[in-house]
Amino acid sequence: MIDRTNLPGWAVDLIRDGVPPRELRARGDRAVWDELGRTALSAIAHGWSRPEWEYLVLEPGSDLGRQARLTSSGKVRTPRSLARTLTTAWERAEKRAEESPAWTTETARDEAVRRAQRVRDLAADPDVLLPDAQRTLLCHAADRAESTGRTLANLPLQPTAEATGLTVKAVRYHLGRLDAAGLLVLVERGRWVGDPRKAGAKRNTTPRRTPRASVYQLPDVEALATYLSRETRQVCPKRQTGVPQPDSGSVPQHQTGVPQPAMTEEAAVPALPIPGPNVTDEEWTVMLQALVEHRASADRTAAGERHLYVVREETR
């Protein structure tokens, strides 16, 4: 039995402010459904019952509840349809909570330390193809996550830029690249929280909106393995379209005009004669057999096996 505790701030803000308009226009009902599932899972992890969660979602001040009552086309859901939606969201959250039990404070802190150390090792590895700015951001995110004992790191743009010595524009760009690579996954986008009209009406003061920073997730072992396997995957060289000439000692220039490296004596291979337009099938078979034998006896260099391609001229 989990002791009942207060919901985290992000869940309360999400229920109160609802799905952002831009995301709601882009994803429609799916965006509302996902946020209902997130808040239900958070309520289960903090010992809440289903009636308590439903009451908080459906209270008059809840924008998420207002969005759940409407479809993407603007039609009002029937009470039966709304109850079925909330029931399904809660049951799926319960199933997910059973499959992945909530961490204790000690477990979360230990996992944060392990992930932070793996991220630092990745950033310090010179063989990994990462810009220096992304290495700095990875180390900064690892320090933030380890200091809070969580696998999540709040990375506001301006403070992050001041801490890392980067510009705000560079921080925004490289965080997006790290998110796309799966090294720092964006789990909650930063936004302005609060309704200035409600704040001004209640307090009779100047309306203010509080910025909330974006939250990023440190990668686990599987995410790091996926990234490393993708970055270190061998790329096949482009097929050579020309045949080296014996007197030039170099590969013909590519169509783009990029100079090709000169072939050394060890890597150089004699060119085979190109068949003329009147070559017979028997001569063509002999040429192919010679090419196969030539390739079988060719030395393999450190860069890989070099291939020759015989171009047959067609009679026009």
Asked if residue 40 lies in contact with residue 96, where contact means CB atoms within 8 angstroms, the answer is no
Asked if residue 129 lies in contact with residue 231, where contact means CB atoms within 8 angstroms, the answer is yes
* pTM of the predicted protein model: 0.49
**Residue 186: phi, psi to the nearest 5?**
-75, 115
Give dist(CA 177, CA 173) in Å, integer.
6
| Pair (18, 82) in one structural domain | yes
Task: Give domain status of residue 117, yes or no.
Answer: yes
Among 242, 239, 266, CA closest to 253: 242
Whole-number Cα distances in Å, 292 to 257, 288, 297, 307, 310: 30, 6, 9, 10, 11
Task: Give domain status of residue 1, yes or no.
Answer: no
| Pair (110, 95) in one structural domain | no
Q: Give the domain-ending residue among 48, 67, 99.
A: 99
Q: What is the pLDDT of residue 254?
A: 47
Residue range 122-175, pLDDT digits in tens: 999 888 889 999 999 999 999 999 998 888 888 888 899 999 999 999 999 999
Asked if residue 314 lies in contact with residue 276, where contact means CB atoms within 8 angstroms, the answer is no
Residue range 192-241, pLDDT digits in tens: 655 544 444 444 454 455 666 888 989 988 888 888 887 654 444 544 45
| Pair (185, 123) in one structural domain | yes
| Pair (191, 76) in one structural domain | no
Contacts of residue 218, defined as CB under 8 A and 6 or more positions apart, other chains included, come to 112, 115, 116, 119, 141, 142, 145, 151, 152, 153, 184
Q: Give the domain-ending residue among 231, 255, 282.
A: 231
| Pair (121, 197) in one structural domain | yes
Q: Give the domain-ending residue among 63, 84, 99.
A: 99
| Pair (76, 194) in one structural domain | no
- Exposure string over 177-193, b if 16+ CB within 10 A, otherwise e: ebbebebbbbebeebee
The count of domains in the chain is 3
| Pair (223, 165) in one structural domain | yes
* Residues of the domain holding 282: 240-316
Asked if residue 172 lies in contact with residue 157, where contact means CB atoms within 8 angstroms, the answer is yes
